[in-house]
Structure 1
């Protein structure tokens, strides 16, 4: 009898579900926090929010690495029969792009703080000093990584919106189990 922790052929287990929704909440929160922190007039509040943004970025990076490792050891459930051939080819590519984005965005942020001429240490949640990446500090490098982080964030917003739209389409239009199997492993998830 399969456990509710691991995935099986028709549903996700609790480990994948918890990681999915925790990462989703952090990613969306990071989008909001990123937009707010760069638009504040108070430098003190902006600085505090930037430190919080960095903390959640490092947490996100760790969780995404854990999620990828878990995914490599736990095959995703089969798609329901209602999913057409084109979507069966596109869905893995979108999921791969989401994983790449979830790694690239926090890594670009880490690169940005590593090359910054301000040399402000990153102290995730005030617990420890995160070492900088071995990159040379310079204004051009900081400008490059700022732009890369910004463009990746906007690309990520597009990918996340596409992912949410697809999940809602499956749930409300196709009425299949693509969304519900990511909500709880105890639901009835027979392949449709």
Structure 2
């Protein structure tokens, strides 16, 4: 068994990173969308710190995923995929990586510019500030964080819809080769 990606299959490391990031981003989205509704109790500040810590974790995992993809390569497009679809998929993947980097960075910048006390990643490591307190930068980074979230949501919907389209209507292995526990191409008969 190879840990790297093959010409027709995502390897186990790529799959693990993909699905781990998906789950963490879903958790971050739910918490981020509901956090403002919580009363400002100690539980709120714990949830807020966990949100920030998980965001930094996603940032680190995306950097690992990019490094792994550069090292392990990517499967070739499924045979029969039109060139225009392959190009759109490449652009979409690039934009997803960019957004998955920009989202936590904008949140980290928002936290830094807010002038709040330094936060500790899961209570273990104090995270450096990206800027001194700055009300203008605070507002800008907060707005960017929200806007980037909605752009990410839209792009993820397009990405998932394309995968399901290939699975349901093209009947190809585009989705299957990223599913956990799947090895090799689907058996045609």
Q: TM > 0.5 between the two? A: yes
Q: CA RMSD in A?
A: 1.6
What corresponds to 2:89 in structure 1?
Answer: 91
Offset at residue 47 of structure 1 (A): 1.8
**TM-score (ref. length: structure 1):** 0.91
* Higher RCO (CA < 8 A, seq sep 6+): 1
What corresponds to 2:165 in structure 1?
Answer: 169
8 Å CA contact retained: 2:32, 2:51: yes
**TM-score (ref. length: structure 2):** 0.92
The one of 122, 127, 137 aligned to 2:119? 122
Residue segments in structure 2 that go unaligned for 5+ positions in a row? none
Trace 1:111-150 onto structure 2 (pairs within 5 A): 111-117=109-115, 119-133=116-130, 135-150=131-146
Q: Distance in 2 between matches of 1:50 and 1:123?
A: 12
Offset at residue 163 of structure 1 (A): 1.1
Count of paired positions = 187
Q: Distance in 1 between matches of 2:7 and 2:180?
A: 14
Q: Distance in 1 between matches of 2:95 and 2:182?
A: 29
What corresponds to 1:70 in structure 2?
Answer: 68
Offset at residue 44 of structure 1 (A): 3.2
What corresponds to 1:30 in structure 2?
Answer: 28
Q: 1:102 to 1:5 in 2, by over 3 A?
A: same
Secondary structure class of the residue paired with 1:90 = helix
Q: Distance in 1 between matches of 2:134 and 2:73?
A: 43
Residue segments in structure 1 that go unaligned for 5+ positions in a row? none
Offset at residue 75 of structure 1 (A): 1.4
Q: Are 2:86 and 1:57 equivalent residues in the alignment?
A: no
